[in-house]
Amino acid sequence: MGETGSVLLTDINSAMLATGRRRLEDAGCAANVQYLQADAESLPFATGSFDCVTIGFGLRNVTRKDAALASMFRVLKPGGRLLVLEFSKPTAPGLGPLYDSYSFHVLPWLGRAVAKDEASYRYLAESIRMHPDQETLKGMMQAAGFGRCDYFNLTGGIVALHRGHKL
């Protein structure tokens, strides 16, 4: 972003927003960063405000993903792009059953043993399974108006980076 660019960090949850702020400050990366509590389904910014919108491991927690994608499209400038980093569906041969076993058995056990919070880790596994797969999310982005949509599978498809442009 350079010295003149700016970043606006948003989250609907004030505690998560504060954690993000603290982590950026601790890492010495807080220059030119502003913070605002906001709902992805109805972003409170003027149309065509941003060059790039990103969301990392958060879209699966949005109730109305179609509304959030439409809101993100609206606030992008023409030529702007959306980047969505999110858990997805494993594509590597044989990885699906192993990942399911890990997600629904090991992960909640670790949550209980380490973080004393089995429910949050069980929710994580369930929210990942409910999230649209790669092709479905790509189609949702296209339905919201994004063009040149594609995605890149990471870690055998467990995570995918989706990209779309406001043409």
CB-count exposure of residue 68 (10 Å: 0-12, 13-18, 19+):
buried
CA-wise closest residue to 69 among 58, 18, 123, 79: 58
Do the Cβ atoms of 85 and 57 come closer than 8 Å? yes
Label the pairing between strands 33-37 and 7-11: parallel
pTM attached to this predicted model: 0.93
**pLDDT (tens digit per residue) in 1-24:** 777 889 999 999 999 999 999 999
**pLDDT (tens digit per residue) in 102-133:** 999 999 999 999 999 999 999 999 999 999 99
Domain-by-domain residue ranges, the chain?
7-89+132-165, 90-130
Do the Cβ atoms of 37 and 9 come closer than 8 Å? no
Do the Cβ atoms of 55 and 87 come closer than 8 Å? no
CATH 3.30.559.10 holds for 7-89+132-165: no
**pLDDT (tens digit per residue) in 12-62:** 999 999 999 999 999 998 889 999 999 999 999 999 999 999 999 999 999
